[in-house]
Amino acid sequence: MTEVRLEFLENQAGEVEGLGHAGIETFRDTPFVSCSREAGQNTLDAAAGRPVRMVLTEHQVPAEDVPGIEKLRETIASCLAAARATGNEKDRDYFENANDVIQREVIPVLEIADYNTTGLEGPPNDSGSKFHALVKSSGKSNKSTETSGGSFGIGKNATFAVSNLRTVFYSTLYETENGPRFALQGKVQLVSHRDADGVERTAKGYWGHPEHFMAVEDPSLVPEWLRREATGTSVFSIGFRGEEDWIDRMTVPLLSNFFAAVDDGEIEFEVGNGTRIVNSQTLAGLLEDSAIEAAGEEASHGDDIRLAQQLYRCRKSEDAVTKRFRVDDLGEFTAKILVKEGMPKRVVIVRNGMLIAQSLEHFGDKFARFSGARDFIMLVEPADNEASKVLKSLENPQHNSFSAGRLDDPAKQKRVTRAMKRLIHEIRTLIRENAEISGGDAVKLDELGEFFADAGSEEANVPSAEDDPETIRFTPVKRVRPKPRKPVARNSEGDEGGAGHDDGAGGVGTDGKGGGSGAGEGGDGTRGQQTVVRLTTVRNVEQSPRTRKVFFTPDEAGDIELTFLATGVYDEAELRIVNASGAANCSAERGRVKLSVDEGARVQIEVTFDDDYTGPVELSAVKRAS
Q: Give 219-256 pLDDT, tens digit per residue.
A: 999 999 999 999 999 999 999 988 778 999 899 999 99
Beta strands at 267-271 and 52-62: parallel, antiparallel or unpaired: parallel
Residues 207, 6 contacting (CB under 8 angstroms): yes
Is 162 inside any structural domain? yes
3-class SS at 556?
Answer: coil
Structural domain contains residue 395: yes
DSSP string over 199-210: -EEEEEEEEEBT
Measured from the Cβ of residue 544, the count of other Cβ atoms closer than 10 Å reads 10
The answer to whether position 449 is within a domain reads no
In this prediction, residue 465 carries a pLDDT of 39
pLDDT, the chain, mean: 83
> Which tens digits make up the pLDDT trace of 362-410?
999 999 888 788 999 999 999 999 999 999 999 987 778 899 998 999 9
- Residue 568's pLDDT is what? 56
Same domain, residue pair 88 and 217: yes
Residue 543 identity: Q
| Same domain as 341, residue 225 | no
**Measured between alpha carbons, how far is residue 469 from residues 11, 443, 464 in Å?**
97, 19, 9
Same structural domain for residues 173 and 269?
A: no
Sites in the chain below the pLDDT cut of 70: 1-2, 23, 26-27, 139-155, 438-529, 568-572, 626
In a domain, 308, yes or no: no
Neighbours of 495 (CB within 10 A): 16
Strand partners, 109: 59, 238
Express the helix, strand and coil content of the chain in percent, nearest 5 each: 30, 30, 40
User: Looking at residue 21, what is its pLDDT?
Assistant: 78
Residue 450 has a pLDDT of 43
The answer to whether 253 and 130 have CB atoms below 8 angstroms apart is no
What per-residue confidence (pLDDT) applies to 444?
A: 36
Mark whether 21 and 161 lie in a shared domain: yes
Which amino acid, residue 416? V
Q: Which of 355, 390, 412 is the last residue before a domain boundary?
A: 412
pLDDT score, position 390: 95
Q: Which helix (H) or strand (E) holds 432?
A: helix 410-435
Question: What's the rounded Cα separation, in Å, for the pair 587 and 578?
Answer: 9
Specify if 520 maps to a domain: no
> Are residue 285 and residue 381 in the same domain, yes or no?
no
AA identity, residue 546: R
Read off the DSSP letter of residue 626: -
Task: Please compute, for residue 170, the number of CA atoms within 13 A of its CA located in the half-sphere on the CB side.
Answer: 26
Q: 350 and 269, same structural domain?
A: no
Quote the domain boundaries for residue 581.
535-623
| pLDDT confidence of residue 574 | 83
Output b/e per residue, 53-87; b: 16+ Cβ within 10 A: bbbbbbbebebeebbbbebbbebbbbbbebbeeee
* End-of-domain residue from the set 378, 412, 446: 412
Phi, psi of 234 (to 5 degrees): -120, 130
**Which of 387, 412, 437 represents a domain boundary (last residue)?**
412
556 and 587 assigned to the same domain: yes
Residue 561 within a domain: yes
The helix or strand, by DSSP H or E, that contains position 311, with its residue range, turns out to be: helix 302-316
Longest dimension (CA), the chain: 113
Query: What's the pLDDT score for residue 616?
Result: 81
β-pairing, 331-339 with 321-327?
antiparallel
Residues 156 and 22 placed together within one structural domain of the fold: yes
- What's the first-to-final CA gap in the chain, in angstroms? 77
Q: What is the pLDDT of residue 1?
A: 53
Number of structural domains in the chain:
4
Residue 169 has a pLDDT of: 97
Chain-centre distance of CA 302, in angstroms? 10
Does 222 map to a domain? yes
- Asked if 240 contacts 250 with a C-beta cutoff of 8 angstroms, the reply is no
The pLDDT of residue 458: 39
Could you tell me if residue 85 is left (phi over 0), alpha (psi between -120 and 50 degrees) or otherwise beta?
Answer: alpha
For residue 460, count CB atoms less than 10 angstroms from its CB and return exposed for 0-12, middle for 13-18, buried for 19 or more.
middle
Q: In the prediction, which pLDDT does 571 show?
A: 54
Helix (H, G, I), strand (E, B) or coil at 605: strand
Tell whether 442 is covered by a domain.
no
Asked if 122 and 182 sit in the same domain, the reply is: yes
Who's near 433: CB < 8 A, 6+ residues apart? none
Strand, coil or helix: 559? strand
Residue 237 sits in the same domain as residue 382:
no
DSSP H helical segments within 103-234, as ranges? 130-136, 158-161
Buried b (16+ CB within 10 A) or exposed e, 153-184: bbbbbbbbbbbbbbbbbbbbbbeeeeeebbbb
CATH code of residue 569 = 2.60.40
